[in-house]
Structure 1
Amino acid sequence: MSAQTMQKGTFSSDSDVHVTREDQSKINKFARLNAKLQDLQDEIKDKENLMKNLDDASDELLMVDDEEEPVPFMVADVFFHTPLEETKAKLETLKDELTRQMEELNSKGSRFKEEMALLKRDLYAKFGDNINLEPDED
């Protein structure tokens, strides 16, 4: 089994490597952090798509001809008709909140990556090519 075909956190059987309880704990922690990082990245992607939708909605509001006409504003599954300026303000508030959430998620992701880098360093130092902690290239 070559290093390229191994799954995350697997060992090659080419050499006899003793795995201590501490080593296994590090491997498990790395795997949990990796799973959390993947979930975070998915959540960030969802929020980026939502931000794109909010930007598109803001652009559409620029083309409104009658500023006195109420604009439909969707909250959950219900549309509310609100004045144009109020709708613009709500969109900006939503975009600001979404930006803050994305910054928090990115910060958390950075902390996960830092911790994973330390674990990778320790594990590769001990196991070398006998362990693969790199993401699969699908």
Structure 2
Amino acid sequence: MPSQRHLGFFKPGIIFIILGFLHAALLVSLVHGTITTTVMVQTLPYVPPASPPSQSISFKDPNNPDATVTFECPAKCNGGAACEWVNPTNCSEYINCDFRRTPLLLACEDGLHFWDQLKQCAPPVQAKCQVNKANQEL
């Protein structure tokens, strides 16, 4: 007597029922023995941010507690190390301006100052940072 293979859960006809459910969700069609699947995608409209990112950052003036010093990322900035400047009020911090001219405040490791000419942190003797003269060359 020839043996019959048991298909377990899948009985004849169950495949067509499953395909019927898939057809409703994915619009499955059989064309010349191949399965073509069409997925319907809905795109959402672009919603711009509520306000553009700030292009400046403000600091308390260490010489005058009632005043603030504002640093604005220059228009020539397009990101990278070329767009880094010493914090105008603190030599151990520096500002990185990204390609959108958005400032990000960063800090050197303890005991180091930002060397504006080389755009890196260095010992204070080498960096020769003077906060009063910061950003005069912008």
Q: TM-score, normalised by structure 2?
A: 0.21
Higher strand share: 2
As a proportion of its length, which structure holds more helix?
1
What TM-score comes out, normalization by structure 1 length?
Answer: 0.21
Larger relative contact order, structure 1 or 2 (CA cutoff 8 Å, min sep 6):
1
